[in-house]
Structures are given as C-alpha cells and as structure tokens.
Amino acid sequence: MKISSKLLNLIKQSKSFLIVGHINPEADSLGSSLALSLGLRKLGKKDICVLSRDPVPETLMFLPSSRIVRPKPPAREFDVVFLLDCNEVKRTGFEGFRAKKTAVIDHHVLPADAAASEFYKSLSASLIDPGAAAAGLLVYRVLTALEVPLDKDIATNLYTAILTDTGGFRYSNASSESLKTAAHLVDAGAKPWDISKEVYESIPFKSLKLLGLSLATLERKDGMAWINTTKHMFGKTGATSEDSEDFVDFPRKVKDVEVAIFFRQDGEKSFKLSLRSKGRVDVQKIAKSFGGGGHVAAAGCKINGTLKEVQDKVFKVVKKAMKES
C-alpha cells in the first residue's frame, strides 16, 4: 500500500507532534509510537511528545526511550496529533487533543460507519492498513519513505512491535513483508535474542503463579476452549490484569480448538473477554456484537453478568459463528 503524499507532507511541514497510542498499551502501540518519535527527531523535529494514558508496563521498560512517555499532554497546542495502533480518540483514553491537525497510523479494522464519521472526515492524513501485521510495520514504511536512517533504538522498538503482534512470527499475519522488515531491522541493530529474552523469557513470578491457577479452569467443548481468572486469583497471587495479557494463547494451543476464550473478572459481575481464532472464525465479529472489537483472529470485549451468564451468552454466539463459517 502506497503512503499518501499528504501524510509525508504533513510530517515534513509540522513542527510540533503529539504521538498517542491506545489504553493498556502493549509493545506495538508503544514501540511504533517511540520509533515514530525517534525517527522524527532524526528529521530535525524537536518538539515531540509521546503520550500514553496508562503507564508503560514494567515488562516493556526495555524499549529504547520508553522513559519519555508521558501520561498527560502539555497544556499548549501542537501542530499535529498522531493516533497510533488505534483509530478512534476513545481508544486513546483521552477526551481529545489540542492539535491543529489529526492523523492516524493503524492496522485495525475500521468500524463499519467510520468513513462517514466526523472524526474520520476531519483527518488530515492517515495510513490505515488492516492487512499490515503491526502498526510498527506501518511506521517502518513511513520512516523509510521519509528516508530516515534507522538506528538500533528505532530498530529495537519496531522489531519488538512486529515480533509481538505476529506472535513471534507465527500468526497468519507473519507476512513476507513482516519477515523482510524484521531482517532489515536486525541489519539496523535490533538484537533478536536480547529482545526475545525481554518479551518471552522475563515473565514476572506472580504472573506465572496466576497462570497456574487460571489453567486449572481449562475446559473445552465443540471446538472451543477457555480459561478464566477471578478477582480472588488476582488477590491470592498479587498479580494484576497486566500479568494476564497473553493467557488466551493457552486455550488456543489445544489441538482441534477453533476458538479460544479468556474470561477475566474485572468486577463482581463484569468480565473482560479475549477471543482468539485459529483462522476459520472471525472473532472480531463476535466481539463487535458485544460492543468490542479487534482483528479477525484476535479480539476483545466486555460483558456484564456472572461467569456462567457471560459464558452462556458468548458460547451461543461463538457456536453460531462456527456453524456459519
């Protein structure tokens, strides 16, 4: 996908930049934001603020320049705000931004009515490609188009973004482009094993204890497998929701399972769901029917009710989706 000259010119012509990812930031949101900010610096831009409503998770503090991330924007107007790895202001966790122009760099599926929305029409430029494996890949395309020389810090941020969003280059989105880009990033200084150690071999102890309790709830039926965590489990282990980020990957590993679900208890009667598909079923549609969203193979939503009520509701929709696909 070609990058619009609008986007490149917007970057060239602007002096001050706000860069913001989504709430509960993970490596793609942060890595792409940090890489964009480092790349802009290389273009001589001095006034850049990287924002995240939620703090950088401890596990991602190794990302170069992660310490520059701020929880609040300075009280002045910026030339442009860039939304990364999300395509609505709501997803950033902020009400809005003081910026003359707005741009989006994202790889999530746009909501059906997005093109007609005021926000979408108000965009000065965008690079939205749901076919891209990671927002980091899109930032790589932008920086390359701007002929920014990549250094180790930029490469490490982008490599981590692509590595994590492709599940370690294992998911169906691990395209030739993502693998080639990863190779370029290694040439530019990214160190695969150093990054893998940080991402995959540095699990907090409390997180693995929580996983143990959660895995004990594993069940399967009709091509679905699921696990859950309760507030009690979080209390017992001292773990937080951050520690359960990739738990949904475990029920997905079960042979012959098409759809995996992780139920995380957030309140007395409310659950956050992560849904994963091995490819045949579009879990984004399922999540959307409950007010959530995401990608075809990875999505999430929130549902109120007891665990039993929530599960009954979801299983019905998943079964229907499996029949139809």
**Contact status: 28 vs Mn ion (CB under 5 A):** yes
The residue (of 135 and 239) whose beta carbon lies closer to Mn ion is: 135
| Per-residue interface string for the shown chain with Mn ion, residues 78-97, x marking contact by CB under 5 A | -------x------------
Q: Give residue number: closest CB to Mn ion.
A: 28
Closest residue by Cα to residue 36 from 58, 76, 74, 8: 8
* Tokens of residue 257, six digits: 């399972």
**Contact status: 106 vs Mn ion (CB under 5 A):** no
The residue (of 82 and 234) whose beta carbon lies closer to Mn ion is: 82
The residue (of 85 and 243) whose beta carbon lies closer to Mn ion is: 85
214 CB contacts (<8 Å, ≥6 apart)?
Answer: 227, 228, 229, 233, 244, 247
Is residue 204 within 8 A of residue 243, CB to CB? The reply is yes
Is residue 214 within 8 A of residue 244, CB to CB? The reply is yes
In the bound complex, what is the minimum distance in angstroms from residue 60's beta carbon to Mn ion? 13
Instruction: Candidates 11-19, 128-136, 191-199, 210-218: pick the segment binding Mn ion (CB under 5 A).
Output: 128-136
In the bound complex, what is the minimum distance in angstroms from residue 85's beta carbon to Mn ion? 4
Instruction: Candidates 6-14, 157-165, 233-241, 298-306: pick the segment binding Mn ion (CB under 5 A).
Output: 157-165
φ/ψ bin of 309: left (φ > 0), alpha (ψ from -120 to 50), beta (otherwise): alpha
In the bound complex, what is the minimum distance in angstroms from residue 80's beta carbon to Mn ion? 21
Is residue 52 within 8 A of residue 68, CB to CB? The reply is no
* Tokens of residue 129, six digits: 């490609």
DSSP 3: P
- Residues in contact with Mn ion, counted by CB under 5 A, come to a total of 4
**Which amino acid is located at 177 in the chain?**
E
Which of 88, 153, 165, 243: binder of Mn ion (CB under 5 A)? Answer: 165
The residue (of 135 and 260) whose beta carbon lies closer to Mn ion is: 135
168-174-179 Cα angle (round to 5): 85
Q: Which of residues 217-236 bind Mn ion (CB under 5 A)?
A: none
Residues in contact with Mn ion by CB under 5 A are 28, 85, 135, 165
